[in-house]
A and B are shown apart, each in its own frame.
Chain A
């Protein structure tokens, strides 16, 4: 078998759609939560309407900077229409109704928001749009979806779908973390400034969730240094993840390195570091949907068989015990 045929065979693998469905639902929920926050705070007009209609952004009626504004006119009504379409697409993606179309339409609509207010569009928006492009090419709606119910008469199916979208999402996570880790070369992320990045960030009033006193911050300073160091390690070790996944998937082949890696649960250690890292960010910093958006892609790191095994174990653990029959 040549390298190319192995490469073709790798991208031709199939598996159950559980992990992709989980990603689909998680991403859609995170997006809905974020859009819900915009609506709750009354910021739709401010963020995306033209300046003349009460918006902040650079778009004006005279020079519309998005396709939507060129087509239907630059107004607050257009911003609300676009917002409504995006919310509907996110909802539709969540329930798995016209999954591929919903994912792509949401990506395009969301991209219009990015053009209307570039500074309001953050890294997490780009990350989730990347994920939507992958989801629209995937069979993420093959299970746990209205599409599955309409096509097969049941909500959950065992249909095997192409696995490559999950692999691509794993690579997306790897690229995200490795890139972010590699460019963290400024002194606060290194020994030059004593790994002070998190201490500095927690001192920034625009980001810190809690208004900690200087004494409280000084008390936890060593922990913050350790967390900064661990963050850099976690991010720069991301390229090892595909290798660890491969070592896990081929556990039956044996070999000292494979056995050691699997025995030490290195993959689980990395994933747990990631979860703790994001939960820490969610607790300590006001980053909105950033931690949750990243975590929404984590099911990609889990093979569907593993997900099913966990689900079954959880069902066995929490299922009510069979009542003992009285013997007559």
Chain B
């Protein structure tokens, strides 16, 4: 058999392997956790399983089902990772994959970025922080187009549960440097996150206070 004759078969084999690999890549990278299974969606899944199997005579408690699901997911994830190991360099150097957690959990608590600046404190009034930017509200520092850009938001947008990303401090330093370079009258910049609680339709989001406050002085900026 010549190569030209064998090529369609070889190609079909290669595509099949690639598709299998991509499907395996879609398996979640983390197993289920007991904490996650106590969420409403976890409880719902377990109750579905319980009802479905009890209809065919398999009776198990919620805790038993939860334990089984966690153990099964641990095995599947371990198998996925083992199957993936030989192909890891490919996925590393191309940064490709099939994990698509797009807006999976819109949280009723979220953050709003605040950027403030302060002049050198000569007089009492100047010791107050001046609000330069509050997401979707105030934009005195002309930062909106930059800060709303998706890549930058990906760096600073903190998770309501897990807090800010690893580069949040670096972002605050960079933003302070950027602002102080463009506004010579300011001596320091404060970057923070206002926690908001989103209520029922018709109600204003409620502020729950300011967190993750980072202050950068002009003297400390490179």
Contact = CB atoms under 8 A, between A and B. Distances in A.
A42 to B, nearest CB: 8
A58 B166 contact: yes
A11 B177 contact: no
A200 B136 contact: no
Nearest to A37: B149
Given A58-B166, A111-B94, A192-B40, A11 B11 contact: yes
Contact of B154 (A10, A38, A122): A122
Contact of A187 (B18, B41, B100, B198): B41
A204 B110 contact: yes
B45 interface: yes
A47 B151 contact: yes
Contact of B9 (A8, A107, A208): A8
Contacts of B96: 107, 111, 126, 129-130, 133
A301 B93 CA distance: 29
B151 A122 contact: yes
Interface in A177-197: 179-180, 183-190, 192, 196-197
Interface string B2-28: 000000110110011011001100101
A54 B98 CA distance: 32
A11 B167 CA distance: 44
Interface residues of A, number: 76
Contacts of B46: none
A114 interface: yes
A114 B95 contact: yes
B10 to A, nearest CB: 10
Nearest to A113: B95
A211 interface: yes
Given A56-B174, A192-B40, A121 B137 contact: no
Interface of A: 7-12, 37-38, 41-43, 46-47, 51-52, 54-58, 67, 107-108, 110-111, 114-115, 117, 119-123, 125-127, 129-130, 133, 164, 168, 171, 175-176, 179-180, 183-190, 192, 196-197, 199-201, 203-206, 208, 211, 214-215, 217-218, 221, 286-290
21 contacts: A7-B12, A41-B145, A43-B151, A57-B167, A107-B94, A110-B95, A122-B154, A126-B99, A175-B22, A175-B23, A176-B100, A192-B44, A196-B106, A200-B198, A201-B106, A204-B106, A214-B201, A215-B202, A286-B148, A287-B150, A290-B150
Interface of B: 8-9, 11-12, 15-16, 18-19, 22-23, 26, 28, 39-41, 44-45, 93-108, 110-113, 134-137, 145-146, 148-155, 157, 165-167, 170-171, 173-174, 177-178, 196, 198, 201-205, 222
Given A57-B170, A185-B45, A186-B41, 13 more contacts: A11-B8, A11-B11, A38-B151, A41-B146, A54-B177, A120-B155, A121-B151, A168-B18, A188-B105, A192-B40, A200-B198, A203-B110, A206-B148
